[in-house]
Structure formats: C-alpha cells, structure tokens
A = this chain, B = another copy of it.
C-alpha cells in the first residue's frame, strides 16, 4: 500500500482550507493509497478556547458533514486526519471533547481513535479541553493492521497513568498478532535539538512493535509556538525525512508484514522518560560553570525557526514590512540581520529606525548605518532630543516637578516605543521586539518602551546566546553585523555613561544563574555550589521575581528552547518570597 504523509501548514480556525485539502486528496486518482494528515488538521492546534465557542462548534459539525458526504465505496483512497470529536448534550452543550483521528474511507467518515495521553505541562493545556481516550488505536485498512497514536501517545512518563505504547505491545502479545504499520499524527512544537529525540523514540517503537513507523507533523506558527514538520518514515534501515518549516508530501510503498505475530524475542520499548527533568534539562555545563553553548546544528535550526516565524506572523496578520528600532547595540542589530534573512525568502521589506536621545554615542548611529548599508536598506533617523526636552518642560509645567532619574530614562525608551508604533500605524509594518531572555528575566527593559512589539524574536535567547548567534550569522553571511556592535560593552544609553554591568552581573554569570532558576531545577544552594556568590544570587533572584509584572504584558515570545517565557511560563506577579538563603 502506498502511504502519503501530508506535512501541512493550516491556519487555526480555517476549516474550509482543511476540508478542501482532504476532499481533493480523497477524490484524486493519480496517487491512490493511504493519506495521512497531522493532528487536529481539521481545526488547528492549539485551538485553546476556540474549541469551546459555539460559533466554532456549529461550523465544525457542518465541516464533518461536508467531508462525510464525499465518502464513496468505489474510491480506493483512505484518509486519516486529526480532528475533534464533540460529545454534546441535548441542548448542544459540551459533555466531552476528544482529540481524535478520523478515517475517511469506503465505509464513510468515522472517528477511529481518541488521544490517550493529553499533555498538560508547560505550554500544553490539553486536559483543559479534551477528555482522554482509553482504547488502543488498532485498525485495519486494506488488510493492513495499523496502530494509531496521536503525538504525546508515543511517549512514556511515570507521571502518566497510562502508557499507550506498552498497552499496544501487550495487546499484540496477548492476541498473538502483528502490525503492518505504526502511525503517529502529530502537532509537535519545535525546539532546537528536538528532532533527534523524536527519531530515537520512533526507532525504538518501530523495533519493539516490529513495524514501520510513520510520523506526520504539521508546520506553522501559532502565536509563540512553532511547528517544524520534519515528518519521517522509519522502516528497518530506511529513513525518510521531510524538510523543516516547509509543506511537503512524503510517499512510501509499505509492504505487508510477513509475520503473523510479534517475533518471540520482542521487547517492550525502553522507557524514555518524558518527565519534567528530561524535557526541561538545564543547559548547564557544571564543570565549566557556565551555560552550555548552542551547537552549530542548533544555531542553524534557530535561524530557520526565526526567519520562518517572522514570515509566518507577517503573512497571517497581513503586515506589510518588518520594522525594527535600531539602537547600535547587539540585540537590535541581530534582529535586523535575521529580518533581512527572512526577507530574502519572503520579499517582505525591512525598515530600521534609529532614535537617538542626548545620551546616544555617535558611534551608535555609525554602526547602525553600517549595518543597514551592509544589507542594503536605508536607515531612518528620528532625533528625540527636541521631543524629549519638550516633554520635560511640559511635564514640569503641568506637574510641578522635574523629570529626573528613572522617570527620565524611561521616557526616552517609551518615546521610542511610541514613535516606532506611529510608523507601524502609518505603513502597516510589523514591529519586532528586540529584548533578549536575560533582559526579560531580570526586567532590564522599560514597559511600553523597548518591550513593545508584535512578537519577540530573541526572548528565548540569553544575552550570551545572542552573541553566539550574531557571530554565527557573521561567519555564514558575509559579516552583516559590524564587528564593533559585537565587541562594544552593552548599554541602554538612557543616561550618561550607562553600562549594563553597572546594574547586572556580567552576562556569562547572569545567564548561568538564570538558566538554573528558569529550568526550575536548581535550589539556591545548588546554584551557590556553581561558584555564584550569595549576594549576587539574591540580587538576581529578586530581580527575576520582581519583573513578573513586565513579563505579564510582554508580547508573544517565539519559542526556540524547551523551557521559555511566554504561555508555558506561569508565575504570580503578586507574591512575597521570604526565603532565607
């Protein structure tokens, strides 16, 4: 039997597009076989509350009817796609919702499997919406005995009450039957380095259940979460893999298994633990007492993810250009460089605006200009000095007190936020935020100032990783970023002679502390054992917790790592930590 893996990018809520894909695939006759579409292909993932809303539910039920109507017993195509199964009461209120697999085939449209493992940690909220299925996903199509999984089902964790892979293994052994194919329909979020684990686990399951493994993942950007695709087929020594972040169809001729039963020496798959400590391992080099540097292959993945994210966001929101406030510092320079790389793929133009106040060094302008020259765009300049003076004067007139200190520093940053959004309103441009993960962690940014943006590109990269990525881009893309931007000491330039290191530890130490804290896996004592002084740790710990109110109002953070700020990170603003360190 021919099996087709449709690695698709379908917008959340766009039922019509999914219906058309399904029906067209079903009705075509040049590629006949079993066609696989990702988890929740009809509907979108993650739907969040949308799946609870009646306008959506009534439309969803109609969509299923539309698909059901095309089923035809003379058609040799079979389609498996991810979708929603609603169990409603008499007054159309929800009793249960299942994350399920539909089979469109000669007998019509039927739900053939309900997801058993509902991830509900970090960015996942599936238990909020779905009820877990309880049955194994054993079905037969064209005499092929197939076992179905949905995404998380293939994983194992001691915290889950059930283990779908083991359940299937036991059923096969008890009933003395063999499989011809294992299929996993997924909407598996990207983070750098993840594919390796998927492949490894797929191989384990394929070996244990003695059948080829078909893994179909969606691609796309849904707010903060990227889906990288990289669907794959594992069959003995054969390994086929689709590209990342690109729609693609993988095709494979699957042979029926010659074995009637599982080989006698089959073993239950080793128990790769999908637990918190494995999923969110702190990237710490304990010997060198520093953050583990990102590998080159992961840096490539990160650039692919970032450029895809920018283009997707702009496409989905119909924004016309990328707009960045350039400061002469490393973060905004890196964002411009990445936007430039994105622009090469999408032709969406990049615009940079430099907005100096009286505290900005001339070199900040020169370096920004040089960067823009390197990528062939103009640098627009709005000089804040006069506006800043006017505001100070008017403020004093009205309030009776001088604007000084932090209030005066923040006003410059907020003016930039204000003006970059004026430009965005004028042109329909997408403002890209330039804060990094270290700044976000300790609140080293001005709310409504440099924290503004449609989306944060660097919010999942520590400052030391920002440097790493900038150097990597320079090496591979003609030194786009002027060297001095990378080597000059970082400064917000909001007062005379300001340097980041006046108020924060050096970034290599700061990032080590932060990774320990943000992975949740180090006690304060354990962080001290990495050579961090108590005072410094306390300072960072307090800054981190106090900055919660800023993170609360921050824009979506493009997720690049396993543990990120954003939707999966939930901590109270109002708290009173009285730890005795």
Interface residues of A in 400-424 (CB under 8 A from B): 400-401, 403, 405-408, 410-411, 414-415, 417-419, 421-423
**Do A577 and B13 touch across chains, with their CB atoms under 8 A apart?**
yes
Q: Which of B158, B387, B405, B573 contacts A556 (CB 8 A)?
A: B573
Query: What residues on B are CB-neighbors of A11 within 8 Å?
Result: 574-576
Query: What residues on B are CB-neighbors of A521 within 8 Å?
Result: 54, 93
- The verdict on A174 contacting chain B, using a C-beta distance below 8 Å, is no
Query: What residues on B are CB-neighbors of A384 within 8 Å?
Result: 394
Q: Assuming A14-B575, A131-B159, what are 12 further A-B pairs, CB within 8 angstroms?
A: A44-B575, A48-B570, A53-B517, A222-B572, A313-B574, A383-B397, A386-B390, A387-B391, A403-B426, A414-B421, A418-B418, A418-B448
- In the complex the two chains form, what is the Cα distance from A395 to B382 in whole Å? 6
- 0/1 string, A43-57, CB within 8 A of B gives 1: 010111110111111
- In the complex the two chains form, what is the Cα distance from A375 to B14 in whole Å? 52
- 0/1 string, A415-440, CB within 8 A of B gives 1: 10111011101100000000000000
Q: Which of B54, B158, B394, B418 contacts A411 (CB 8 A)?
A: B418
- The verdict on A373 contacting chain B, using a C-beta distance below 8 Å, is no
- The verdict on A476 contacting chain B, using a C-beta distance below 8 Å, is no
Q: In the complex, how many residues of chain A place their beta carbon closer than 8 angstroms to a beta carbon of chain B?
A: 108
- In the complex the two chains form, what is the Cα distance from A343 to B48 in whole Å? 39
- The verdict on A533 contacting chain B, using a C-beta distance below 8 Å, is no
- In the complex the two chains form, what is the Cα distance from A8 to B312 in whole Å? 49
Q: In the assembly, how many copies of this chain are there? A: 2
- The verdict on A95 contacting chain B, using a C-beta distance below 8 Å, is yes
Q: Which of B17, B405, B520 contacts A49 (CB 8 A)?
A: B520
CB of A190, distance to nearest CB on chain B (Å): 15
- The verdict on A475 contacting chain B, using a C-beta distance below 8 Å, is no
Residues of A within 8 A of B (CB): 11-17, 44, 46-50, 52-59, 91, 93-96, 120-121, 125, 127-128, 131, 158-159, 221-223, 275-277, 312-313, 316-317, 353, 380-384, 386-387, 390-391, 394-395, 397-401, 403, 405-408, 410-411, 414-415, 417-419, 421-423, 425-426, 447-448, 452, 454, 517, 520-526, 541, 549, 552-556, 569-579
User: Closest 8 A-B residue pairs measured CB to CB?
Assistant: A382-B398, A407-B425, A11-B576, A13-B575, A12-B575, A14-B576, A48-B570, A54-B523
- In the complex the two chains form, what is the Cα distance from A76 to B263 in whole Å? 66
Query: What residues on B are CB-neighbors of A549 within 8 Å?
Result: 317, 454
